[in-house]
């Protein structure tokens, strides 16, 4: 199974909005509403940001928004803050009952 | 709130077996609420899902690792374990244990991770 496709890096200025894409196939992203997103700071464990495409766990800021269209899911971060600088990974449930990660996207806040 | 903690050797020789244990607190691995699993991250690289199991049901494997992976559980201690056989340098990674949603659809809680280096 090949990794989901994410841009290697994105950047934005404080206060701006950015979007990170995550492209898969009809056997994973396109086939189920089971895309999740994790945030990871250097040297730390990932943290769940979004699950089931667009749901936020308790305590996650509403500046993080998830969506999906066809085989591509997206994470939008609005009102960019310095603390948002981190790596972001998408994950999708697959038809084989496995989990597939994206390659990760490094967000730089300019 | 669930907490997970990995433990095991930080150094393994090539061709040997990597063995890690995850201890769960704040909940029971016998619960119907979660799958349990392992994910790894080679230094400077992305995340890779390894294996997940749901108590009393089937275990699900990453196809690329299935032939070398065994996952087991000790419900009396609320621990589950990973064994990865015939390791090579490419198995060097931070290994995370995790609690996954009931339907295996997302990773809910992560351990802090433990670095395992494969080297002679």
Contact present, B68 and B16 (Cβ < 8 Å): no
Contact present, A101 and B48 (Cβ < 8 Å): yes
Helices (H), chain B: none
Q: Tell if the CB–CB gap between A34 and B47 is shorter than 8 Å.
A: no
Q: Nearest CA of chain B to the CA of A20: how many Å?
A: 16
Q: Which residue has the tokens 């049901």?
A: B57
B6/B24 Cα distance (integer angstroms) = 9
pLDDT per residue as tens, chain A (110 positions): 789 999 999 999 999 999 999 999 999 999 999 999 999 999 999 999 999 999 999 999 999 999 999 999 999 999 999 999 999 999 999 998 899 999 999 999 99
B96/B38 Cα distance (integer angstroms) = 6
Q: Which residue has the tokens 């020789």?
A: B13
Instruction: Identify from B71, B99, B107, B113 which residue to disrupt to test chain A contact, counting A C-beta atoms within 10 A and taking the largest count.
Output: B107
Could you read off the pLDDT of B36-58 as tens digits, one per residue? Answer: 999 999 999 999 999 998 876 78
Q: What percent of chain B has pLDDT above 70?
A: 99
> What tokens does B83 get?
């064994």
Burial classification of residue B16, based on how many CB atoms lie within 10 Å of its CB (0-12 exposed, 13-18 middle, 19 or more buried): middle
A33/A30 Cα distance (integer angstroms) = 8
Q: CB contacts < 8 Å between A and B, how many?
A: 67
Question: What pLDDT was estimated at residue A1?
Answer: 72
3-state SS assignment for residue B61:
strand
Q: Which residue has the tokens 């979007």?
A: A19
């Amino acid at each position: 199974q090949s990794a989901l496709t994410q841009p290697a890096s994105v950047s934005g200025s404080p206060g701006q909005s950015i979007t990170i894409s995550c492209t898969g196939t009809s056997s994973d992203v396109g086939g189920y509403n089971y895309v999740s997103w994790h945030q990871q700071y250097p040297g730390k464990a990932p943290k769940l940001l979004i699950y089931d495409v667009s749901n936020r766990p308790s305590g996650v800021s509403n500046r993080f928004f998830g969506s999906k269209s066809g085989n591509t899911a997206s994470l939008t971060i609005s009102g960019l803050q310095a603390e948002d600088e981190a790596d972001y990974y998408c994950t999708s449930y697959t038809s084989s009952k496995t989990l597939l990660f994206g390659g990760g996207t490094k967000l730089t806040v300019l | 709130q669930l907490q997970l903690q990995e433990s095991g050797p930080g150094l393994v020789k090539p061709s040997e077996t990597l063995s890690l244990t995850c201890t769960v607190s704040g909940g029971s691995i016998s619960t119907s609420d979660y799958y349990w699993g392992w994910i790894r991250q080679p230094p400077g690289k992305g995340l890779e899902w390894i294996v997940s199991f749901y108590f009393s049901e089937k275990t699900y494997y990453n196809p690329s690792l299935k032939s070398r992976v065994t996952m087991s559980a000790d419900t009396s201690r609320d621990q589950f374990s990973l064994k990865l056989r015939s390791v090579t340098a490419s198995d060097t990674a931070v290994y995370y244990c995790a609690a996954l949603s009931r339907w295996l659809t997302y990773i809910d809680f992560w351990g802090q991770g433990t670095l395992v280096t494969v080297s002679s």
